[in-house]
């Protein structure tokens, strides 16, 4: 399958999956506009930075790009952890906006450079719109899947939505942490290639749409190393225990996992 389509699908789902769950949680309060505003501002910022870097005289080195991705991924994990702890007690708009901005940010620089590279290819001497078209179709597919996730989550019972969203975000956070640690390791060029714990590339090939979708949603790797499996487990297991715990999180208003003011009386 075309690599630009798969890239657009992966990046779109990496952002869209987490944002869709947050919008579903906030939909009942009609306070989703700050999330959309934060998302649009972040996309615009990275597109601007990407344009300057792509068409400027100097471009970032692979190590610099990995460092930016890794740093923003770790920051996103911190925000996602906050979200996991808050969803069951009541999701705040501030938390949702923060997570949205960082989810976009961790992919922002690479995605912006990829977009402007495809745009340049569409207007160059041997112009070809195929890379840009493939990227657009991939992102469009991801947005449709994210909308389906949002629509399905909206139909769930409010208490199940809160618990399920916290668990899903915990798994997403584990994948982000693996991505961040891997990127920082690449930025520091520490060590060589490690042997995988298992290899499922024949069953879930990265160049398939479902392989790209899994990597986008939860950063699933078909051939993870010991370090990646360890990092994922150390985050995902406690996060799932916290998310699925039946007690200890106080009262969710209306059971929806969204924080609102209530009055007793």
Report the predicted TM-score, pTM, of the whole model to 2 decimal places: 0.83
Nearest to 224 by CA among 197, 202, 190: 197
Indicate the number of domains in the chain.
1
CA 15, CA 149: separation in Å to the nearest integer? 13
Residue 257 included in any domain: no
Task: Judge whether 265 lies within some domain.
Answer: no
- Identify the pLDDT of residue 124: 66
The string of pLDDT tens digits covering residues 132-150 is 999 999 999 999 999 999 9
Q: Is residue 98 part of a domain?
A: yes
The residues, any chain, with a CB within 8 Å of residue 228's CB and separated by 6 or more, are 178, 181, 182, 221
User: Do the domain assignments include residue 260?
Assistant: no
Kindly give, in sequence order, each residue whose CB lies less than 8 Å from that of residue 128, ignoring residues fewer than 6 positions away: 121, 122
- DSSP 8-state assignment for residue 251: P
- Tracing tokens 């009609």 back to the chain, one arrives at 30
Its domain, for residue 109, covers: 3-250
Q: Domain for residue 71, yes or no?
A: yes
The answer to whether residue 258 is domain-embedded is: no
149 occurs within a structural domain:
yes
Residue entry with tokens 């700050």: 34
Do 157 and 257 touch, CB atoms closer than 8 A?
no
8-50 pLDDT per residue, tens: 999 999 999 989 988 888 887 768 889 999 999 999 999 999 9
Mean pLDDT of the 53-72 span = 84
């Amino acid at each position: 399958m075309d690599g630009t389509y798969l890239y657009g699908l992966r990046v779109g789902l990496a952002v869209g999956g987490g944002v869709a769950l947050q919008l579903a949680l906030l939909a009942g309060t009609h306070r989703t506009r700050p999330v959309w505003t934060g998302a649009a501002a972040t996309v615009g910022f990275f597109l601007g930075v990407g344009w300057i870097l792509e068409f400027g005289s100097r471009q970032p080195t692979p190590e610099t790009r990995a460092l930016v991705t890794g740093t923003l991924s770790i920051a996103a994990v911190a925000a996602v952890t906050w979200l996991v702890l808050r969803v069951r007690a009541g999701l705040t708009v501030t938390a949702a906006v923060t997570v949205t901005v960082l989810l976009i940010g961790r992919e922002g620089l690479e995605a912006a450079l990829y977009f402007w590279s495809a745009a340049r290819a569409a207007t160059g001497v041997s112009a070809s719109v195929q890379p840009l078209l493939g990227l657009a179709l991939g992102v469009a597919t991801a947005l449709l899947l994210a909308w389906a996730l949002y629509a399905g989550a909206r139909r769930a019972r409010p208490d199940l939505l809160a618990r399920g969203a916290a668990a899903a975000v915990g798994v997403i956070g584990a994948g982000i942490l693996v991505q961040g640690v891997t990127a920082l390791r690449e930025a520091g060029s520490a060590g060589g290639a490690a042997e995988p714990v298992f290899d499922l590339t024949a069953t879930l090939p990265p160049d398939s749409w479902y392989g790209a979708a899994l990597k986008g949603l939860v950063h699933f790797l078909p051939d993870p190393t010991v370090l990646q499996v360890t990092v994922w487990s150390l985050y995902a297991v406690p996060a799932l225990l916290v998310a699925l715990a039946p007690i200890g999180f106080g009262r969710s208003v209306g059971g929806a996992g969204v924080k609102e003011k209530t009055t007793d009386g």
